[in-house]
Structure 1
Amino acid sequence: MEVQLNSRSDEQDYNSFNYILAIVITVNLGVLYFGYQLGVMSLAQNTVFIVFDVNHTEQNFYSSIIDSAIPFGAIFGALLSGKIQDFVSRKNSLILADILGIVSTLLCLFKDINLFAIARFIAGLVTGLNTSLVPKFIQEISPLSLVGVTGIFFTISLNLGIVLANLNGQFFDEFPNPENIYWYYVILFPLLITITRISILQIFFNHETPFYYIINNQNEKCLILLKKIYKPQYVDENYQQVWQLVENANKIQESYLDMFNKKNRWRLFIGCTLQFFQQFSGINAVTMYLSQIYEKEKYSFKAANLLTLLSSTAFFSAALVNTSIVQKYTRRAILIIGSAFTGLFILSLAILSKIDNKNITYLTVICIDCYYIAFNFSLGPIIWLYCSEILPQKGFSIATTVNQVCGTIIVMVLPYFDNLWILFLFYSTMCFLCSIFTYLLVQETKDKSKLEIQKLYQPKEPEQNNNPPYQPILSIKF
């Protein structure tokens, strides 16, 4: 007998929103770390090259290596996340990621550009772990009625990290002194993030998720945690639902190879394709090289830095507003419309870059901000949320790996492109294709229970349904 949790949509089933929110914010500190590492080199790069005494002829090479080290390291972090969880638990996986983050940050103190590149690779490993572990942890611990809101905090934290990186970057000099010490503060800032999460997890939220407890036959601990989250009258049915989720997961046998079997391959295809589209929308390229893009538009050093901060702030603000959007509208509608607008704005950037008229450079700033906002209403938060809903942990790891492989390719190539309009045109095409793909093939998950979502992309038995197992979805429900 399946447990349905949608029959009481008019009544709050959880004890305290603030308690759940505190857990979500704490866990998402790892995503804040990701955002900071993603944005920090945009403004710190020139200073790092001076401090580390990098020859001008080698700067393009090291720019490519240092920036691509984050998504490249994240490939391995995403792949390892599923196995690490199996050995050290959900919470301890997050703590292990933070310990690696501390090691990475301390390595930056040695003024050697090659060691710095290794430190960035380890930081990438940490971001890969967090991008895979955090959404699943939150999805497993969140009540159904809050999944949309709590899932959006991934993007909010990511964008806040970028804002903090750009805020710290405002105080670099255009012509830095090799003895500059401010860069120490900027590079060591992630220590504050990693140490804070370790401390809070150990002191205030020293527990796993209900799903993890049942998998490991710790039923009593599961009930204790559920009593903290839910009102007494809803504990038993949520406990039964977790049991059913575990039983279904055991039948599927979540090895990496099993993600490609008949029951899982379609959901994996959907998840991986959406992650592909997210990266090839150009977001990492714009974020990591935003200051350089503004400088190519003939803005001064200080003006380019300030515009970078303002654009990232607009990015962050859009993520905050999206918490109400995701509660009101369906995942498909947001993704279809938002992807189309994202493509439209970056297509405008391509046209402006091709025209190269100094009198209309302000339009570039407007288009970048609009692109950021459209992305943060759609491709940014919804794809992470959607993939965490439809994919088991190892499937989510594979989809995250696809995301980071694409990100590595984009970031490595960008420093060698003088004609950005070609890239912007390609990114806009990807956004429009994502909109079409979602319209035709992506199914809705909003307001569905975890059990319903688990069965969403599984092929139906021939005797129950003679139609093809997968049909295009030819409507948009708001």
Structure 2
Amino acid sequence: MNPFTPQMHYYLIEQKLTTAVYKLSNMFSLTGKPLLYFTSVFVSLGVFLFGYDQGVMSGIITGFYFKEYFHEPTRAEIGTMVSILEVGAFVSSLMVGRIGDIIGRRKTIMYGAFIFIIGGAFQTFAVSMSEMILGRVVAGFGVGMLSTIVPVYQSEISPPHNRGKLACIEFTGNIVGYASSVWVDYFCSFINSNMSWRIPLFLQCAMGALLFGGSFLIAETPRWLLDNDHDEEGLVVLANLHGGGDIDSPLAKQEYREIKQSVLIHRLEGERSYTDMWKKYKKRVLIAMSSQMFAQLNGINVISYYAPLVFEEAGWVGRSAILMTGINGIVYVCSTIPPWYLVDKWGRRPILLSGAVIMAISLASVAFWMRLDFAHTPALVVISVVIFNAAFGYSWGPIPWLYPPEIMPLTIRAKGASLSTATNWAFNWLVGYMTPILQETIKWRLYLMHAAFCSLSFVLVYFTYPETSGINLEDMDSLFGDKSVVNTPDSRSLLGDRDTPEPDVPHSYTDAATDRLPAGMQGYGSAPSSRGGSVVGSPRRGNSVVGSPKRDFPQPPV
């Protein structure tokens, strides 16, 4: 009788693959900033796929061979095919809050990439509109997982002084994906066969395969590891990311203590359900959801999904419309670079406020030029659209993906991000589905409507959004005035002379646990948990990760 179950065989195979890839990764010996930037750029492939899938349809739907193969689909059919991806993404983004907490951020990225590959294959080899729609739904499941978990992963590996920069680099990956898809569409439009639309769809499968393979290489986030009591592995990852690979680095050990203190304090608060999150952190949840809602209502997907149709409406015809979309995509990519250097120095609020103003003016200009409909309308519409995209690219593009995971506590970070991302996809679907219909019915007034939403977003940010630049994730409780606060220098400076309760957490989080946990639970914190597996890049170094059993790290209960 074979004692091994299929689950055990799967586990052994995964362990062998993990070990092999880890040995390969050791050849590069990356630690510190090189490792941090390499990991950040690589996981940006997840949002690259989102951007690519978002833009690839914009050029395909205007192609002769695509329209001929699918029997001249109506605007409503096109709207359904394009926007159905958001339905799948909406569903999976709600599910991934729990999934990401259970299996970890790294495995969630891996499974999301695999599902995306399957969806891309369905689209590539589709022979009917129903198969194309099925492929879009399946790809949406993968995109929803990736778009939710990648920002969480990014925020949990980043130090506070450049967390915004790394998140903006991630968003640049999204727009590079969008721009790449537009130019692939343009060059493939010269192919006189159905390959003109099948090749662009196939390339998304190749990029998904690259992310899937690389997910075996990246490390699990230290905050998830510590939250699941993989303390030794968590400290090693912190040392590799922020301590130059030295587990005795004071910086790594200080961050380790602060994260673990936060974990233990929030663990005492009880359940981590969506209902509990809403009751305790209502303001944070509303900020996270509203930022993603206005990221869509501000009109970006009127351009992203239907840019060629917008340019055709303005007077550019056929391949010229795709070319204008490609030029717009290049400017779009370039506009995402300034926030790398502004977001942590200038702050989140000024970027959102200035972006909302420029976007409102640009969309109103698009409506004005289309209403006039004179000889220079095509050129003026292109200029206005390019300015709008540039404004979105440096403001409401990256910041709404940065805000939700950084303002949520660790214990409900994945759930908070999933709820905000689900909001994004719900309004993404609404805009994607309604745009071709509204373009036919209300025409130029559509752009005035989105300009009004830009104005509303300005008011919301001005009166309700706090500045989070440079603040530790563990100090967000202080910023929002919550009762559970980790006692760090940053949190004390945030509290100032306010009467907000400030628990006395000693330097050793073991003492904190002893003071706060009930009898029988004291010492809890370092025993390996059954809620997770190994982590790539996080081997246990010796019998004790800190080199001595006398260090002030908690020991497992006897």
Q: Same fold (TM over 0.5)?
A: yes
Equivalent-residue separation in structure 1 for 2:315 and 2:470 (angstroms):
48
2:237 is matched with: 225
1:117 is matched with: 133
Residue 86 of structure 1: CA displacement? 2.8
| Structure 1 residues 72-471: aligned runs within 5 Å | 72-108=87-123, 109-173=125-189, 179-202=193-216, 204-205=217-218, 207-231=219-243, 232-250=249-267, 251=269, 253-261=271-279, 263-391=280-408, 392-417=413-438, 418=440, 419-458=442-481
Q: Please point out which of 49, 56, 76 is paired with 1:61.
A: 76
Partner amino acid, structure 1, of 2:337: L
Partner amino acid, structure 2, of 1:211: R
2:13 is matched with: none
- Secondary structure at the aligned position of 2:398 is classed as helix
Per-residue Cα deviation, 1:239-297 (whole angstroms, up to 9, x for no partner): 01110232344226322112210x21111111111211111001012110001111111
Gap change, CA 1:52 and 1:218, over 3 Å in 2: farther
The answer to whether the Cα contact below 8 Å between 2:314 and 2:377 also exists between their aligned partners in 1 is no
Per-residue Cα deviation, 1:195-247 (whole angstroms, up to 9, x for no partner): 11122221x32x21111111221111111111111222211101011102323
Gap change, CA 1:420 and 1:20, over 3 Å in 2: farther
Residue 87 of structure 1: CA displacement? 3.1
The answer to whether the Cα contact below 8 Å between 1:52 and 1:112 also exists between their aligned partners in 2 is no
Residue 52 of structure 1: CA displacement? 7.2
Residue 173 of structure 1: CA displacement? 3.9
- Secondary structure at the aligned position of 2:220 is classed as coil
Gap change, CA 1:52 and 1:306, over 3 Å in 2: closer
1:470 is matched with: none
Equivalent-residue separation in structure 2 for 1:278 and 1:106 (angstroms):
29
Partner amino acid, structure 2, of 1:92: K
The answer to whether the Cα contact below 8 Å between 1:81 and 1:133 also exists between their aligned partners in 2 is yes
Gap change, CA 1:243 and 1:413, over 3 Å in 2: same
Residue 110 of structure 1: CA displacement? 3.2
Equivalent-residue separation in structure 2 for 1:258 and 1:289 (angstroms):
40
Gap change, CA 1:458 and 1:421, over 3 Å in 2: farther
Partner amino acid, structure 2, of 1:82: G
Equivalent-residue separation in structure 2 for 1:144 and 1:459 (angstroms):
20
Per-residue Cα deviation, 1:165-202 (whole angstroms, up to 9, x for no partner): 0010112448x85x422322211101221111122221
Residue 450 of structure 1: CA displacement? 1.2
The answer to whether the Cα contact below 8 Å between 1:39 and 1:287 also exists between their aligned partners in 2 is yes
* Paired-residue identity, %: 23
The answer to whether the Cα contact below 8 Å between 1:264 and 1:457 also exists between their aligned partners in 2 is no
The answer to whether the Cα contact below 8 Å between 2:188 and 2:199 also exists between their aligned partners in 1 is no
Equivalent-residue separation in structure 2 for 1:217 and 1:233 (angstroms):
21
2:56 is matched with: 40
Residue 428 of structure 1: CA displacement? 0.8
Residue 407 of structure 1: CA displacement? 1.1
Partner amino acid, structure 1, of 2:237: L
Partner amino acid, structure 1, of 2:118: V
Residue 316 of structure 1: CA displacement? 0.6
Equivalent pairs counted in the alignment come to 445
Equivalent-residue separation in structure 1 for 2:66 and 2:221 (angstroms):
46
Residue 366 of structure 1: CA displacement? 0.7
Equivalent-residue separation in structure 2 for 1:252 and 1:279 (angstroms):
34
Residue 329 of structure 1: CA displacement? 0.2
Equivalent-residue separation in structure 2 for 1:460 and 1:221 (angstroms):
30
TM-score w.r.t. length of structure 2: 0.76
The answer to whether the Cα contact below 8 Å between 2:189 and 2:196 also exists between their aligned partners in 1 is no
Partner amino acid, structure 2, of 1:184: R
The answer to whether the Cα contact below 8 Å between 1:30 and 1:193 also exists between their aligned partners in 2 is no
Per-residue Cα deviation, 1:374-413 (whole angstroms, up to 9, x for no partner): 1112111112111221122211211111111111111111
Range that drifts further, 134-143 or 83-92: 83-92
Residue 16 of structure 1: CA displacement? 2.6
The answer to whether the Cα contact below 8 Å between 2:100 and 2:414 also exists between their aligned partners in 1 is no
Q: Which residues of structure 2 form unaligned runs of 5+? A: 1-29, 244-248, 485-497, 501-558
The answer to whether the Cα contact below 8 Å between 1:47 and 1:172 also exists between their aligned partners in 2 is no
Per-residue Cα deviation, 1:61-97 (whole angstroms, up to 9, x for no partner): 3201111012222111210111211332210100000
Provide the alpha-carbon RMSD of the alignment.
2.1
2:246 is matched with: none
The answer to whether the Cα contact below 8 Å between 1:51 and 1:111 also exists between their aligned partners in 2 is no
Equivalent-residue separation in structure 2 for 1:279 and 1:314 (angstroms):
20
Per-residue Cα deviation, 1:131-163 (whole angstroms, up to 9, x for no partner): 110011010011112201111123201100011
Partner amino acid, structure 1, of 2:278: F
Gap change, CA 1:46 and 1:100, over 3 Å in 2: same
More helix by share: 1
Residue 55 of structure 1: CA displacement? 2.9
Partner amino acid, structure 2, of 1:406: F
- Secondary structure at the aligned position of 1:358 is classed as coil
The answer to whether the Cα contact below 8 Å between 2:357 and 2:455 also exists between their aligned partners in 1 is yes
The answer to whether the Cα contact below 8 Å between 1:51 and 1:180 also exists between their aligned partners in 2 is no
Gap change, CA 1:23 and 1:309, over 3 Å in 2: same
Gap change, CA 1:372 and 1:46, over 3 Å in 2: closer
- Secondary structure at the aligned position of 1:254 is classed as coil
Partner amino acid, structure 2, of 1:36: Y
Gap change, CA 1:452 and 1:122, over 3 Å in 2: same
- Secondary structure at the aligned position of 1:327 is classed as coil
The answer to whether the Cα contact below 8 Å between 2:114 and 2:142 also exists between their aligned partners in 1 is no
Equivalent-residue separation in structure 2 for 1:377 and 1:276 (angstroms):
17
Equivalent-residue separation in structure 2 for 1:136 and 1:317 (angstroms):
25
Equivalent-residue separation in structure 1 for 2:153 and 2:266 (angstroms):
16
Partner amino acid, structure 2, of 1:286: I
Equivalent-residue separation in structure 2 for 1:171 and 1:405 (angstroms):
32
Q: Which residues of structure 1 form unaligned runs of 5+? A: 1-13, 467-478
- Secondary structure at the aligned position of 2:215 is classed as helix
Partner amino acid, structure 1, of 2:60: A
